[in-house]
Amino acid sequence: MLPTKKENLSSDAPAELRTGIARYFGCGIEAQDRLVDGAASEHHPKGKILFISGDKAKSYFYIRSGWVKTFRETLDGAQAIIDILPTGHIFGETSLFEDDTYPYSAEIVEDADIVRLPLAALKSEIHASNVLALSMLKSMARYRREQDKEVEHRTLQNAPQRIGCFLLRLSNQCGSDGPVHIHLPYDKTLVAARLGMQPETFSRALARLKDAVDLKIKGASIEIESIQQLAEFSCSACTSHFPCKDK
Amino acid sequence: MLPTKKENLSSDAPAELRTGIARYFGCGIEAQDRLVDGAASEHHPKGKILFISGDKAKSYFYIRSGWVKTFRETLDGAQAIIDILPTGHIFGETSLFEDDTYPYSAEIVEDADIVRLPLAALKSEIHASNVLALSMLKSMARYRREQDKEVEHRTLQNAPQRIGCFLLRLSNQCGSDGPVHIHLPYDKTLVAARLGMQPETFSRALARLKDAVDLKIKGASIEIESIQQLAEFSCSACTSHFPCKDK
DNA sequence: CGAGGGTTTGAAGTGCATCAAATAGTGTGG
DNA sequence: CCACACTATTTGATGCACTTCAAACCCTCG
């Protein structure tokens, strides 16, 4: 585990950070300025714990690259994974509504560049700007739908279907058919946990999925012969259908 | 199924409606006035469908009494229950963020008095008032935590533990021990679905729970001998602990 | 009383978990 | 470049929890 490197960003925030901020909070240049003031980019190795549930929160985070796992755990160490977040995502910001306390723990699962942003600025900005609050509401509503779907998947889909659904989301090819190549972005063990199953089950379920639809699997790289066929297999047990735009 | 009765509420909204609105949206008297303007209270019998997923939304709803199930279903009729909402709750308001379309269906599961509120008023109010938007954000954040917990429960708790957790929530006796009497507010079949299990499983799991902790069960009425003991049984497989105030 | 829905019980099946062990893959130092 | 150590992944065997299908029971209400 390499040591963490820091880099100050305050004055010259990279464009992608501003874009990410703007996308999530829907705010203009001036607000962006205030939000990214005091921001610091840090490189973290896989395995690094950013914060744990219950920690006092002074920052929230933006993922420039890599993957971050958010989770909670029981006294005897069993983990409940909340989400595994990709590049471009923001996390830890909901501590604002939880007495400045993180409601979950966060761990780097693939080497990552993380921007640490001051919570205080967000707090004052959100109180000052209705636009910001509304954008955040919209984001929260989207997340809410996602979580509802998550519960649904666990109830209605079996293991191979859940994997199929996961692959479809990875291949976010909206609509068009034909072969698609994808690469699992993190450990199969972690994918399994993300989908609420054991690694062994994942391995076997992936094999079953391969029997049911045309897939070529070689390690972490997977070729889907027909998105259409995969969607039929997975989405038949789901209330929304590929490309999951809902009604 | 008795016919639905209507009653106009615009000018003289009952106190509990205003309280409910104020609690959820954290708004003052004047805003309350604008929100409840055009509201109509309706009595609905069990089984009545209020709207279905995908319907164009012009209203959101407040539950004066009774219980409402929100859910989605697959093409072949399998249901995924999103939540079962008690008196005092508001639902359908998130359609605001989904192109004025309900993202789930809603059905009365116990005879209910429902207040229908105009979405347009909420929309303009939320755009005008930061206080309102912030309160809503807070509510959304709370819901988000709840849903995260839901996913967790399904992953980490077994059937008897989930039932125990459900009973604990019903008996929201925070802290104090001693015998508590509760009454299941709706069908056992529905409780089962809410907890993501089959009615048969529920029946058997409740029996197993009865063996594990001191319970007296007679139909829908349940006496918990020791909240403490029940909490130990259920919360041992959970990342938060009774009375679930989290850290 | 009798019909019908909710609930329980029984028997059998299935899917996933668990435990154990083999195999593949990766990075290390020689 | 190879051997070793370590981890990720797969495979096998077995067990358990929940589901499914079927039937009995119970309760309520006309």
Question: pLDDT in tens for each of the 247 residues of chain B?
Answer: 444 667 777 666 789 999 999 999 999 999 999 999 999 999 999 999 999 999 999 999 999 999 999 999 999 889 999 999 999 999 999 999 999 999 999 999 999 999 999 999 999 999 999 999 999 999 999 999 999 999 999 999 999 999 999 999 999 865 667 899 999 999 999 999 999 999 999 999 999 999 999 999 999 999 999 999 999 999 999 999 888 876 5
Tell me the CA–C1' distance in angstroms for B171 and C18.
35
- Per residue in A182-222, pLDDT (tens digit) is 999 999 999 999 999 999 999 999 999 999 999 999 999 99
C-beta atoms of B247 and A54 within 8 A: yes
- Angstrom distance (rounded) from CA B93 to CA B115: 13
* Backbone dihedral region for residue A137 (phi beyond 0: left; psi -120 to 50: alpha; all else: beta): alpha
Residue A1: pLDDT above 60?
no
Reading the block at residue B200, the tokens are 């048969």
Q: What is the rounded distance in angstroms from the CA atom of residue B45 to the CA atom of residue B225?
A: 35
Inter-residue contact A51 to A58 (CB < 8 Å): no
Strand D: list positions under 7 Å from protein Cβ.
8-13, 17-22, 27-28
Tell me which residue in A104, A147, A155 faces B196 most closely, judged by beta carbons.
Answer: A155
What pLDDT, on a 0 to 100 scale, did the predictor assign at position A22? Answer: 94
Other Cβ atoms closer than 10 A to A81? 21
* Cα dihedral A147/A150/A156/A161 (nearest 10): 150
- Residue at shortest CA–C1' distance from C8: B203
DSSP-derived pairing of the beta strands A105-118 and B5-8: unpaired
Inspect the interface and report whether the beta carbons of A156 and B78 lie closer than 8 Å. yes
B141 touches chain A (CB under 8 A): yes
Q: Quote the CA–CA distance of A103 and B123 in Å, as a whole number.
A: 29
Positive/negative CA dihedral, B75, B79, B80, B82 = positive
Residue A199 has which token pair?
Answer: 């690694």
Cis previous bond, B243, omega within 30: yes
- CB A141 under 7 Å to nucleic chain D: no
**CA–C1' span, A184 to D10, in Å?**
17
User: According to the model, what pLDDT value does residue A2 have?
Assistant: 45
Contact call for residues B106 and B51 (beta carbons, < 8 A): yes
pLDDT: which is higher, A144 or A14: A144
C10 C1' closest Cα residue: B200
For A17-41, the pLDDT digits (tens) are: 999 999 999 999 999 999 999 999 9
CA–CA gap between residue A182 and residue A169 (Å, rounded): 11
Report yes or no: B151 and A194 within 8 Å, Cβ to Cβ. Answer: no
Q: Output the average pLDDT for chain A.
A: 92
Place of tokens 């796992």: A69
Where residue B21 falls (left for φ over 0; alpha for ψ -120 to 50; beta otherwise) is alpha
Distance of CA A206 to the CA centre of its chain: 22
Res B31: pLDDT: 93
Chosen for mutation from A239, A244, A246 (greatest number of chain B CBs closer than 10 Å) is A239
Residues from chain A contacting residue B103 (CB–CB below 8 Å):
145, 148, 246
Chain segment A169-193, per-residue pLDDT in tens: 999 866 667 899 999 999 999 999 9
Q: Is the CB of A195 under 7 A from strand D?
A: no
Q: What is the pLDDT of residues A59-71, one digit of tens each?
A: 999 999 999 999 9
Nearest to B239 among A72, A134, A238 (CB): A72
Query: Which pair of tokens denotes residue B31?
Result: 């805003």
Identify the pLDDT of residue B125. Answer: 95
Question: Both tokens of residue B83?
Answer: 């939540």
pLDDT band at A5 (very low <50, low <70, confident <90, very high): low
- Does the pLDDT value for residue A4 go beyond 70? no
Which two three-digit tokens encode residue A226? 């027909």
State how far the Cα of B34 lies from the Cα of B122, in Å rounded to an integer.
Answer: 8
Nucleotide nearest to B207 (CA to C1'): C8
Would the CB atoms of A94 and B141 count as touching at under 8 Å?
yes
Place of tokens 């639902």: B91
Strand D closer than 7 A to residue B219 Cβ: yes
